[in-house]
Amino acid sequence: MDHLLPQSARPATGGHAGPLPAYRALVASGGLQADAAQERAAIKLQDLWERLRGYDPRPAQEPPASGFFGRLLKRRHTEEYMPLGLYLVGEVGRGKSMLMDLFFDVADVPRKQRIHFHKFMQTAHARIHAWKKANPGTADPIPPLADSIAAESALLCFDEFQVNDIADAMILGRLFQALFDRGVVVVATSNTEPDNLFKGQPGRDAFLPFIALLKQRLEVLVMDSARDYRRERMRGLRTWHVPADDFSRRALDKAFETLTGGAPIQPVTLTVMGRDLVVERAADGVARFDFDFLCNTALGAGDYLAIASAFHTVVLDGIPRLSPDNFDQARRFITLVDALYDQHIRLIASADATPDQLYQRGENARMFERTASRLDEMQSLDWLGIHQDDA
């Protein structure tokens, strides 16, 4: 979710010029600063836009398929006819999603869908479950699932492509092969290069064919811009507000609005070990939570890792003083901070004390010292990527 402009500031792109002229118009108008990496990506998207004009891989365009050799002929025909998709990869804040939005808005494809990848997978699992319930004893739900998706969309644009859940990993290879067989073209943005998807996870060997398929059907473009536009929004923003009162809440409201650039706020559902974790308030890669939701409910390290993988900034309201009296909350908060720290996620919070004063008494106070140190570091300009002369 790399939107750089509020929706109201984006120009009308029209349906005939393509994403590259739209991008250059933004630069010329001062809405964006010229960026070589973004320009290269816009050129690639323009090429794909040209090749996709009027694209609609309907059965009438394909040879009839019956039996194994018929299906093989159909697959070869589809691979020759359909253009390669595009996988835009780069660190957060490089403008990947903004560029994909420019492309999607003008893509001349009758059936298209832009969707967050986590939501797409959540919907896929729900459809598989419903199909199995309606067709007990039938072997394979993937072909009918692919049929229904392909009937809805010849172009799928995925934002924040990331794989953290084993349930997703187990179906992706067969599902995407079936979608590609049906002529579906994929454009995706990600913070992770294909070779590093699902890295270090149990069962990754079985996931490797999907990575190979992804690299075969999508051109991979690394956006290596030196600028992080998201971090520029952090300039002048306080990251730790004391105490956690109404004044701090309003300050977090303002920070959330600034960091999301006016993008619409909506729920995002993450899948963690086969279950749903609903983030009620999210926009443009920023998630907002209450402390009670994150640390006073039955969440754990897997949930916090999923959050850190899905968002680049967390806004957290109402951290209380911690002690042995509420150690379960303190323990979850320690785990949360570790996950955010390890993934280099930015944290803006309101609390009843500064980090070094949050947990002052009791046998576990010394254990919290590392967390307090990490919280202090996460407020530093170096952590936020802001140069001293820019602050």
Confidence of residue 219 (pLDDT cuts 50, 70, 90): very high
Of residues 206, 218, 125, the one with CA closest to residue 173: 206
Q: Rounded mean pLDDT of 364-382?
A: 86
Residue 344 maps to which CATH number?
A: 3.40.50
Residue 228 lies in a domain: no
One domain for residues 178 and 287: no
What whole-number distance in Å separates Cα of residue 336 and Cα of residue 325?
19
One domain for residues 107 and 238: no
Residue 102 maps to which CATH number?
A: 3.40.50.300
Give the domain-ending residue among 169, 195, 222. Answer: 222
For residue 129, give its domain range: 7-222
One domain for residues 242 and 202: no
The predicted structure's pLDDT at residue 236: 66
Min mean pLDDT across 159-163, 228-232, 266-270 is at 228-232
> Does residue 361 have a pLDDT over 70?
yes
Confidence of residue 6 (pLDDT cuts 50, 70, 90): very low
One domain for residues 78 and 142: yes
Confidence of residue 14 (pLDDT cuts 50, 70, 90): very low
Q: How many domains does the chain have?
A: 2
| Between 3 and 217, residue with greater pLDDT | 217
The predicted structure's pLDDT at residue 231: 58
> Does residue 3 have a pLDDT over 70?
no
Give the domain-ending residue among 222, 246, 263. Answer: 222
Residue 2 lies in a domain: no
| Between 311 and 147, residue with greater pLDDT | 147
One domain for residues 101 and 249: no
> Does residue 8 have a pLDDT over 80?
no
The predicted structure's pLDDT at residue 373: 92
One domain for residues 199 and 242: no
Q: Rounded mean pLDDT of 323-335?
A: 91
> Does residue 21 have a pLDDT over 90?
yes
Confidence of residue 30 (pLDDT cuts 50, 70, 90): confident
One domain for residues 241 and 331: yes
Confidence of residue 7 (pLDDT cuts 50, 70, 90): very low
Region of 320 please: left (phi>0), alpha (psi -120 to 50) or beta.
beta
> Does residue 263 have a pLDDT over 70?
yes
Residue 1 lies in a domain: no
Q: Which residues contact 325 (CB under 8 A, 6 or more apart)?
A: none
Min mean pLDDT across 20-24, 122-126, 192-196, 387-391 is at 387-391
One domain for residues 73 and 152: yes
Q: Return the bridge partners of 287, or none.
A: 282, 314
Residue 145 lies in a domain: yes
> Does residue 42 have a pLDDT over 70?
yes
The predicted structure's pLDDT at residue 12: 43
Q: What is the pLDDT of residues 270-325, one digit of tens each?
A: 878 778 899 999 988 899 999 999 999 999 988 998 898 888 899 999 999 998 88
Q: Are the CB atoms for 333 and 297 separated by under 8 Å?
A: no
The model carries a pTM of 0.61
The residue to which tokens 């996988």 are assigned: 87
| Secondary-structure percent of the chain, ordered helix, strand, coil, rounded to 5 | 50, 15, 35
Of residues 19, 24, 45, the one with CA closest to residue 35: 24
Give the domain-ending residue among 157, 190, 222. Answer: 222
Written as one string, the DSSP assignment of 183-213 is T-EEEEEESS-GGGTTTT-TTGGGGHHHHHH
What whole-number distance in Å separates Cα of residue 293 and Cα of residue 325?
18
What whole-number distance in Å separates Cα of residue 350 and Cα of residue 320?
9
One domain for residues 268 and 194: no
Q: Are the CB atoms for 307 and 314 separated by under 8 Å?
A: yes
Burial environment of residue 391 by CB neighbours within 10 A (0 to 12, 13 to 18, 19 or more)? exposed
| Between 115 and 230, residue with greater pLDDT | 115
Mean pLDDT of the chain: 83
One domain for residues 188 and 332: no
Tokens of 364: 């576990």
One domain for residues 199 and 278: no
Residue 290 lies in a domain: yes
One domain for residues 241 and 174: no
Min mean pLDDT across 8-12, 171-175, 236-240, 311-315 is at 8-12
Q: Are the CB atoms for 81 and 183 separated by under 8 Å?
A: yes
